[in-house]
Amino acid sequence: MNQMEISFSATLDNENFARTAVGAFLTPLNPTIDEIIEFKTIVSEGVSNAIIHGYDNSPECHVVMKMTIEDRNIQLIIQDYGKGIENLDQVKTPFYTTAKDLEHAGMGITIIETLADSLEIESVINIGTKLIIKKRLKDNGKL
């Protein structure tokens, strides 16, 4: 099993850093280009949700991202210690958002659910939210 954990300031500038870190961590598994794009998209949606919705873009806060690789099974956790989610069922509804002024808001969780094998959301008001995302990489034919 291989693991990584990083913590970074809750600014949208760090979304690219998070995407790059995940891509680099997956590289030894020789994933397909599509798999890398899917993981980077998942990270982008999860991290931006934590920053925008969990922390209201407060750079003094931190997002924690953990990734575990076992065989070709990947578990990715994106966690904030922000506002939390009041209604977990509602947040899984496409186009639902608490940031109505943002263009393209309300699709992040739907996109993650579409690209991942599974998504679990744990959230407590004023304690934070944890996304637990699982996805298996295709067998690349190596022995």
This prediction has a pTM of: 0.88
With helix as H, strand as E and coil as C, how does the chain read?
CEEEEEEEECCCCHHHHHHHHHHHHHHHHCCCHHHHHHHHHHHHHHHHHHHHHHCCCCCCCEEEEEEEEECCEEEEEEEECCCCCCCHHHHCCCCCCCCCCCCCCCCHHHHHHHHCCEEEEEEECCCEEEEEEEEECCCCCCC
Give the least confident one: 8-17, 20-29, 68-77, 95-104: 95-104
* Inside any domain, residue 142: no
Indicate which CATH number applies to the domain containing 8.
3.30.565.10
Confidence of residue 26 (pLDDT cuts 50, 70, 90): very high
Domain hosting residue 51, numbered range: 2-136
Q: Is residue 132 part of a domain?
A: yes
In-domain check, residue 143: no
Q: For residue 74, tell me if it sits in a domain.
A: yes
**More confident site: 75 or 99:** 75
Residue 89 pLDDT = 72
Residue 95's pLDDT is 56
Q: How many domains does the chain have?
A: 1
Is 58 within a domain? yes
Q: How confident is the model at residue 114 (pLDDT cuts 50, 70, 90)?
A: very high
